[in-house]
Chains A and B, each alone.
Chain A
Amino acid sequence: MKNFKIEMQGVKKSFGSKDVLRNVNLDVKKGESLVIIGGSGTGKSVTIKTILGLIKPDAGKILVDGQDVTNLGGNDRDEYLKKFGMLFQGGALFDSMTIWENVAFGLTQGQKMSKKEAYPIAIEKLEAVGLKESIAQHYPAELSGGMQKRVSLARAIARNPEIIFFDEPTTGLDPIMADVINDLIRKCVSELGATAVSITHDMASVRKIADSVAMIYEGEIIWHGPIEKLDNSGNEYVDQFINGRAEGPVKF
């Protein structure tokens, strides 16, 4: 039996006349941290969103734990989503709720846990990302960008997910805060024993959090291998990307 947590087979998606995913084939092993790299608009976010079911693919199959989840709906989908946590690019914190209510949202609203039970879990998760209980009653708008990212990370891990997605976790942060977030991602993933899929174009982040790397270009995975082989991939697209060269096969 294969030990894959997520399998994407021939996934296609277009918006209008624009083919965003042409043919995505990607396997993620259980417990590994995969980073998908690629330029802006190449389909990285759409890939993640199709796995979560936020976007329905036009063709292809998505398997999670060997189960076909391509067309899940209703309660099955809510149940399925409990396996996941996601850190959104802009944080996507609910601005009408306090910090701790944000972190506990999946517990109190998604699983109907009482506030009394959920509060200590929220505080524990906030502490896991290096934040103090004193900010629990604040609103997201009162925090800096880096702190919002951390709160968002705490929310993503609040339900002890088996799979965590990170959508450009370090974008918009200063290099030090970016490194703090990278460390936290590493720590949270290993403590939970979770499978992680991140998308980023920040190479420092890739080297810090990846076990394996996949590169997406024009809606297809063109290279997939362990992080150790990234510098000797033998793929000129990957070489151009990781070295940040304007000249090469990738055209912008």
Chain B
Amino acid sequence: MFLIDPILNVCERLGRRLLMLFSIVGRLVMFAFHALRDVLVPPYYPKLIGQQFINIGYYSLTVVGLTALFSGMVLALQSYTGFARFNAESAIANVVVLSITRELAPVLAGLMVAGRIGASIAAEIGTMRVTEQIDAMTTLSVNPFQYLIAPRVLAGTLMLPVLVFIADIIGVFGGFIVGVYVLDFNPYTYIQQTWDFVQAMDVISGLVKAAVFGFIVTLMGCYCGYNSGRGAQGVGAATTNAVVSASILILIFNYILTQVFFS
């Protein structure tokens, strides 16, 4: 008997956790459908959508650009150290362009935007929830999903591919700088090798990933903020959850999408 009770306890706890997980996933999926529907259904708020495009796209440019630049640079440097042992230095341009376009630009841009945008969306919407501004909006016949959430999710999904495309160029440029000025490659050959090797699919797969990541970041920011608990603590927890859950989902979906594209 004294053995069965603890086992039952563990089962009960596991079961409760599992049920909770299912209910959260269910609510999140419903939230996502609701958000997607309200992106398509009028009324639209073009001014708010424009603001979000600027906030998410333009203001993230510096962070994403710097991340891409240094990632490209360090990639060239590291692969040189490795490849020089096998006299395969000529592969550096290929490694840089493939790594950047397929993986590093979308994933790193996604994670940086999760920190910058996901957190700010969760804090803003969470504060609005806690101070009853969302309820006030509803009583004034404005649907908060259309007014607050749809513009953010739309802007995130459309702007992240643009950011990642720019990050692709900057990242490759970072590799080029190190290749030419530190490792003494011929600039013409470096560009030639990059251009010869990169395929449309490499870039496109990265941009599709970026759109998915943009959706994830803004959705998690909105979801956590919208369901924020009470008080400053509630908003703090919402912000943390938004960033952590978006980051983990980005890494999981990155694997799934890579598997879909390249296997």
Contact = CB atoms under 8 A, between A and B. Distances in A.
Contact of B135 (A49, A79, A106, A109): A49
Contact of B143 (A78, A86, A90, A105): A78
Contacts of B147: 109
Contacts of A88: 132, 135-136
Contacts of B192: none
B263 interface: no
Contact of A81 (B43, B45, B131, B139): B139
Contacts of A86: 135-136, 139
A105 B142 contact: yes
Contacts of A81: 138-141
B140 A110 contact: yes
B258 interface: no
Interface in B23-72: 43, 45
Contact of A112 (B43, B138, B143): B43
Contacts of B90: none
Interface in A74-132: 78-79, 81-82, 84-86, 88-90, 92-95, 105-106, 109-112
Contacts of B43: 112
A79 to B, nearest CB: 8
Contacts of B137: 94, 105
B199 interface: no
Given A88-B136, A92-B136, A109 B131 contact: no
A54 interface: yes
16 contacts: A49-B135, A53-B138, A54-B135, A79-B141, A81-B141, A84-B139, A86-B139, A88-B132, A88-B135, A90-B132, A92-B131, A92-B132, A92-B136, A94-B128, A109-B45, A110-B140
Residue from the set A82, A89, A109 with the largest chain B CB neighbour count within 10 Å: A109
Contacts of B189: none
With most chain A CB atoms within 10 A of its CB, the pick from B131, B135, B140, B142 is B140
B143 A92 contact: no
B115 to A, nearest CB: 22
Given A86-B135, A88-B136, 9 more contacts: A81-B140, A81-B141, A84-B139, A85-B139, A86-B136, A106-B141, A106-B142, A110-B141, A111-B141
Interface of A: 49, 52-54, 78-79, 81-82, 84-86, 88-90, 92-95, 105-106, 109-112, 155, 159
B132 A106 contact: no
A89 B135 CA distance: 12
The 5 closest A-B pairs by CB, nearest first: A110-B141, A106-B140, A92-B136, A92-B132, A78-B141
A185 to B, nearest CB: 17
Contacts of B135: 49, 52, 54, 86, 88, 92
Interface in B107-154: 128, 131-133, 135-143, 147
Choose among A84, A94, A110, A155 the residue with the greatest number of B CB atoms under 10 Å from its CB.
A110
Interface residues of B, number: 16
A110 B142 contact: yes
A109 B139 contact: no
A106 B143 CA distance: 11
A82 B141 contact: yes
A88 B140 CA distance: 12
A93 B132 CA distance: 9
A106 B45 CA distance: 14
A105 B140 contact: yes
A85 B137 CA distance: 11
Contacts of A105: 137, 140, 142
A84 B140 CA distance: 8
A105 B136 CA distance: 10
A52 B133 CA distance: 15
A47 to B, nearest CB: 14
A89 B131 CA distance: 9
B217 to A, nearest CB: 21
Nearest to A96: B124
B87 to A, nearest CB: 60
B24 to A, nearest CB: 15
A40 to B, nearest CB: 14
Nearest to B147: A109
Contacts of B139: 52, 54, 81, 84-86
B256 to A, nearest CB: 34
